[in-house]
Amino acid sequence: MKSLVIKDIFMLQKAFKMILVLVAFYIVIFLLTGASAALPMVMAILAVTFPISTFSYDEANKWDRYALSGPLVREDIVRAKYLLCLLLMAVALIIGFIGLTIMNFFSATVDLSLTEILLIVSISILLGLCGQAIILPIIYKLGAEKGRMFLIAVMMIPILTIILFNRFADPELKQFFSNNLHFFPFILIILVIAGYALSYKISLRIYMGKEF
Amino acid sequence: MDTAIEVKGLSKHYSGFSLQDISFCLPRGGIMGFIGANGAGKTTTIKALLNLINIDSGEINLLGHMRGEKEVKQKLGVVLDENNAYDNLSFNQAARVESTMRADWDDTLWQYYVKRFQLPARQKVQEYSRGMKMKLFIALALAHKPQLLLLDEPTSGLDPLMREEMLSVFTEFIQDKQHAILLSSHITSDLDKIATHVTFIHEGRLIFSRAKSDIMEDWRLTCCAKAEFDKIPQEFIFAYRNSSFGYEVLVKDSLRLAQILPQLAFNNVSIEEIMLFFVHGQRGYE
């Protein structure tokens, strides 16, 4: 299983370099404009899209057929993809946290407390994990290309929810949510753990029935 | 534990193609040439051996284990017809992934094959020619000291010198009598040289699976006129061709037939001729 994660990391090497450029670009933009603190969210979105790229490569290279001809069993393949997703999200968390802290330090317009930074980072990462949990079984069922289409839909869910909530929700309800925002990550954590476990089970079931 | 491959009654149905009741057996120490025209079901059979596809019925044992068991998968060296698995990786990265994946990876052996096959380590795998990729994957398959090699068209795309080299590698591999090779190939002259057993499938059905020495001893080609052809009992005829020059007949059990019809002259037959006679000729067994 370790070999599979290593293989995916090798495949993503070019993309990792791209991230570094992206982060540098983002920081420059931020320093010039003082834009919002969306870096952790950008990182989380990348951590959802990168594994999909590895699926595309695997499909093009007929990797699964090769790996399953070797000493690996189907559980290894699925488990390794989930592990890769978690690893990428951990990297997103680290970059998001450090980046946001640095930007916050240099910014003249934004002054976030450590709690606020942690809140922004944790919500971004947890939403990213939700995204992974939703998209992985879809990719296993439909393949990487169709999965990419669904990804856009999956990403729209939290954005639309927030927009609709802001527009239509009762002001008291809004007040209640903004007063209790710090509880949000804890609810998300429970959702993510349950969702990830369920997602893994569904993906495995789909993959076990596949032929190569 | 003397059997490397044992397939009993393997069937797999797709819409438009079925693999029907395939059975064969390869002892350790043997090289099985797995032959058949395109679309005969060779790759499907190999996929079934590797547990890459579900089967509708039948039983498959490799090295004394059920197919798909992790224990047996460690002992297999597999080269499939398309070798693109490491296209997005460098040569060294591919080796690194393999060495992590395989419990019995032997780096010295790997380096030996890299040198022997003249694999360019600085070139990206994606840039390798088809033949070069084939060599790379054969080297990868050998470097973890497998007991059973399953090779789908391993010599296609190789130049004659390299093909010869590969045949020597396979022959060396089989010197250990615990080892065995299943080798599907269109290049039947390769099988004439190294195969100990031949399994022939056509349109998803098994035509025969026998030791090559038996085939070479028993099966012969004879040319005769219609009058003589009519005298040959049906049970001896595997396949025949009828042309303006007379009949060309591929016969089974030629020694016994020679006693019955001593006037017939027999010639040796190659695996390719057997295949061609069966596919293009008229079949005697039906």
Decide if A69 and B50 are in contact by the 8 Å CB cutoff: yes
Quick one: chain B helix, strand, coil %, rounded to 5? 35, 30, 35
pLDDT, mean over chain B: 90
pLDDT digits (tens, 9 = 90+) for B178-208: 999 999 988 888 898 899 999 999 999 999 9
Decide if B68 and A73 are in contact by the 8 Å CB cutoff: yes
Decide if B97 and A68 are in contact by the 8 Å CB cutoff: no
Q: What is the DSSP letter of B75?
A: T
- Give the strand order in the sheet containing B246-251: B266-267, B220-224, B246-251, B237-243, B282-283
- Give the strand order in the sheet containing B148-152: B65-66, B57-62, B3-14, B17-27, B205-211, B197-202, B31-35, B180-184, B148-152, B76-79
- Residue B65 pairs in a beta bridge with B62
Distances (CA, A) of A30 to A37, A108, B62: 9, 11, 61
Distances (CA, A) of B250 to A58, B136, B199, B242: 47, 40, 17, 12
Decide if B82 and A10 are in contact by the 8 Å CB cutoff: no
Residues of the domain holding A135: 2-208
Please check the confidence at residue A175 and state whether its pLDDT lies above 70.
yes
| Burial of B175: CB neighbours in 10 Å, binned 0-12, 13-18, 19+ | exposed
B236, B257 Cβ separation under 8 angstroms: yes
A-proximal residues of B, 55-84, CB under 8 Å: 68, 70, 73-74, 76, 78, 80, 82, 84
Q: What ipTM goes with this model?
A: 0.86
Mean pLDDT score, B112-130: 90
Chain Cα centroid distance, residue A200: 15
- Minimal Cβ distance to B80: which of A57, A66, A211: A66
Smallest CA-to-CA distance from B146 within B105, B182, B115 is with B105
- Minimal Cβ distance to A61: which of B47, B76, B88: B88
* Whole-number Å distance between alpha carbons of B26 and B62: 10
Confidence at residue A133, expressed as pLDDT on a 0 to 100 scale: 93
What domain count does chain A have?
A: 1
Chain A residues with beta carbon closer than 8 angstroms to that of B15: none
A110, A103 Cβ separation under 8 angstroms: yes
The token pair at B27 is 């002892």
Min distance A211 CA to chain B CA atoms (Å) = 5
| Burial of B111: CB neighbours in 10 Å, binned 0-12, 13-18, 19+ | middle
Chain B residues with beta carbon closer than 8 angstroms to that of A68: 50-52
- Where do runs of H (alpha helix) occur along chain A? 2-11, 13-33, 39-61, 63-69, 74-106, 114-142, 144-168, 171-179, 184-208
pLDDT digits (tens, 9 = 90+) for B91-114: 999 999 999 999 899 999 999 999
- Where do runs of H (alpha helix) occur along chain B? 42-49, 70-73, 91-101, 107-116, 130-142, 160-173, 188-194, 212-218, 226-231, 254-260, 271-280
pTM: 0.85
Beta-carbon-side half-sphere exposure of residue B112 (alpha carbons within 13 Å): 10
- Indicate the pLDDT class of residue A34, thresholds 50, 70 and 90: low
* Whole-number Å distance between alpha carbons of A178 and B157: 67
B198, B212 Cβ separation under 8 angstroms: yes
* Whole-number Å distance between alpha carbons of A201 and A189: 18
A165 CB neighbour count, 10 Å cutoff: 12
Min distance A64 CA to chain B CA atoms (Å) = 8
Chain Cα centroid distance, residue B152: 7
Q: How far apart are the first and last CA of chain B?
A: 36
Please check the confidence at residue B286 and state whether its pLDDT lies above 60.
no
Task: Check residues A197 and A179 and name the one with the higher pLDDT.
Answer: A197
Confidence at residue A38, expressed as pLDDT on a 0 to 100 scale: 78
Q: Which residue from A minimizes the CA distance to B93?
A: A10
pLDDT digits (tens, 9 = 90+) for B22-66: 999 999 999 999 999 888 999 999 999 999 999 999 999 999 999
Q: What is the DSSP letter of B281?
A: S
Confidence at residue A176, expressed as pLDDT on a 0 to 100 scale: 80
